[in-house]
Amino acid sequence: MSQIHWSFEKGRLVARNESQQLLWSALAEEQIGMELAVLLNRAPRLSQELLMSAQPDDKAKGAG
């Protein structure tokens, strides 16, 4: 699996691949979303587990 980058954008926790393609997006409170993005960027295994456990409808939703 390619490198994943997590961020908090416009009220959403967002995962993108190296090409900036949207992989996953979910609504999140600002404080929690920002903290989770930092945690998931530091824990690649946890990041991959989250992406793999997401329901098909949760994957690749638009961020805005």
- Over the stretch 16-40, which tens digit does the pLDDT of each residue have? 999 999 999 999 999 999 999 999 9
Residue 47 has pLDDT above 60, yes or no: yes
pLDDT at 55: 63
| Structural domain contains residue 64 | no
Residue 30 maps to a domain = yes
In a domain, 46, yes or no: yes
Q: What is the pTM of this model?
A: 0.77
Cα separation, 43 vs 62, in Å, equals 24
pLDDT of amino acid 2: 75
User: Which pLDDT band holds residue 9 (cuts at 50, 70, 90)?
Assistant: very high
Domain carrying residue 52: 5-58
The 3-state secondary structure of 18-64 reads CCCCEEEEEECCHHHHHHHHHHHHHCHHHHHHHHHHCCHHHECCCCC
Q: Is 63 among the domain residues?
A: no
Using alpha carbons, list the distances in angstroms from residue 41 to 21, 56, 57.
16, 22, 23
pLDDT > 90? residue 59: no
Domain count, the chain: 1
Alpha-carbon distance of 55 to 5, in angstroms, equals 19
